[in-house]
Structure 1
Amino acid sequence: MHGGPGLGPVFERARYPDAGHVHWWQQPLAKPCAARPYLDLLEASLVEFRRVAAEAGQPLTVMASSFGAHLAVHLARQAPELVKDIVLLGPTYNPEDAGLRFARRAFRVHTDHPHAAKLAVALAMYEDDPGRPRFWDVFGALSLLPDVTELYFGPNGGAEAARSFAELIRQPGAFDGPTSVATSDDFSAQDHTPQASPFTGPVSVLFGSYDPMIDADKDRDLWAQVFPQAAFFKVDTGHFPLLELTLEECLAPV
């Protein structure tokens, strides 16, 4: 379950072209005028998961990046018998908070840029009047800054991943803005009070030491309420461990 919403698995497929044992799911786009696009995405993920598990004939490892962690939680809640284990990579429990952390980080990095003042104003207006309209104003201002996606990655080995990400995200199907907005807004309209999952098998949660979107201490407490059995790991990456580490290092962190 890759990140997003609105991102495709083009990044993972490019990094792991020989990983034939991995099913990189291409999440469906939000339908125009869909009433509940996030709930539609949850249902689509469950249908796909049941299909792939039936083909495999056994429980599956569920690996999820960033926002995709919420899809993993849904699968574990609706079909725990089909889940072998779960690996969460840079999971964002509250994507709005995570996005604002990212924007503040970008402002600190680009304080001297001519458009930095616009981001500062947008962040201040959000603080005065929090909500989705102001949140998207922040991201509109953020888009005026250069090389923002580089901030997703760590300083040790993340340079190549950052270059690849910047190139691939321009490809058709890599990112769909309307899906991102619609799904994110619908997600934010839901109640996300942490509730313990019925899945009691192994869960690993990896936080990148240089992740600009995660407050590891706060987020750890939230995810521990969902998966009390979870083992937490700090890895030497930014927000996307799967794009900086090997697949094996993500599956078996130390």
Structure 2
Amino acid sequence: MLDLVIGCPIYKRDWIFPYWISCIENQNIDFSRIGFVFEASPDDKETIEMLVKYRNARPEIAEFIIDIKTDVPHFSHEEGSRTWSMSKYENMVNLRNSLLSKVRELKPNYFFSLDSDIILTNPNTIQLLISHIQSGADAVSPLMYMTPIDEMYPSVMSWSNDPGGQAYRKEVYPIGEYFQSDIIMAAKMMSKKVYENVNYSLHLQGEDLGWSGNAAKLGYKLYSASYIYSPHIMHKQMLDHFLQNGDSRDVFLASR
């Protein structure tokens, strides 16, 4: 049985994949007991070739699936900007649910939905997230920020009223602590019962909110392990800056 599957939709990410995967290699995990699942696009030759090259170089990996989707368009953002529309959100819903279907066939103990621009700088990230699942969390996420430079938009949100409806960010969350959150996003460690039962759905604020709303409606509890920080590298120039200067928002590095 697989211990863990890591997966995401991936498009035009050859510029960051080597660093993304190297951070996973630095985690305390047995590669012979994990799998990877990627949803790729036929017009992204560079990323596909990089994935194939990596798969061939690491034959000990238990499963490595590259699903080249021809029926769901991938898309990229202009350098330095993120522009979302409902059609793009719908594409992401379809890609993520397609990925979930493959994870369900593999039946791992845990599924880590890890976006291809999230960097696991803490080498204990995966082990810590799994420990929270083992202690009773249904799904748990590290801390990220959804903007390049400030701390105004952490990777958690709250429902205004009913789950799946309008969402907002509180002025203050207990950043640096482990806490229950209505909404988590971008990097989500899921228990088996969660990935088997919770699909992504279209939501005006993004597919992660649709997923979080569906999880809440089924009674699952989501958590933020916000003492673990994972930089969100949103474009190529940001990666160059990060590699040279680090991320000043990682206030927990010194205490690890």
Question: Shorter-normalised TM-score: what interval?
Answer: under 0.3
Higher strand share: 2
Higher share in helix: 1
TM-score normalised per structure 2: 0.28
Q: Report which structure shows greater RCO (CA 8 Å, sep ≥6).
A: 1
Normalising by structure 1, what TM-score? 0.28
